[in-house]
Homo-oligomer: A and B are copies of this chain.
């Protein structure tokens, strides 16, 4: 009756799907992408069977979570690009909000496993591309504003971002949020235009990220 592959899911099925993605996101973030599927299903309050009906295998689930997450980053970036008073402000806020985004990064850049899975996914590629485009735009504009040092590229920011933006395991620190905020602030001071020391090599652009 509705053989359309894009038929929206029935309400309850959609709810299940959302719960699964939310559960998977939380668990991937705290325990990495190797957790038993059964555990994810349990956290989502569904049976494994349901999980597998929605996502044919672990890879599909990882992909779905990554897409969901990258889409969030892209939204943020676009919104900030428009709403923030300056490009520099947009960048700064994007970095501060980064804590929210750590998962995408973790999945995309940390786990060899996840990377293999994601690197050939066209949807993920498209979103990555779009995010980098936004960042590139912000970088150029912030440099034009004179607030961002000239010798960095979008790639530098992305790399730094990926490094900083990883939530350190909360259990290692008494005040994880504060520590993250301070790391970001120090990094921002390092990015600020002014009396800087020269960086080695040349700017890393968005084309340098594979």
Contacts and interface: CB of A to CB of B under 8 A. Distances in A.
Interface of A: 30-32, 34, 108-113, 115, 119, 152, 155-156, 159-160, 162-164, 166, 168-169, 171-175, 178-179, 181-183, 185-192, 194-197, 199-201, 204, 208-210
Given A109-B169, A179-B208, 17 more contacts: A32-B32, A32-B112, A110-B166, A112-B169, A115-B171, A119-B171, A156-B182, A160-B187, A163-B183, A172-B209, A173-B204, A178-B201, A179-B204, A182-B201, A182-B204, A194-B195, A195-B195
Contact of A178 (B119, B169, B171, B204): B204
A168 to B, nearest CB: 6
A181 B200 contact: yes
A115 B172 CA distance: 8
> From DSSP, what is the main secondary structure of chain A's interface residues?
helix
Given A164-B163, A183-B159, A185-B200, A173 B208 contact: yes
B156 A186 contact: yes
A197 B186 CA distance: 9
Contacts of A204: 173, 175, 178-179, 182
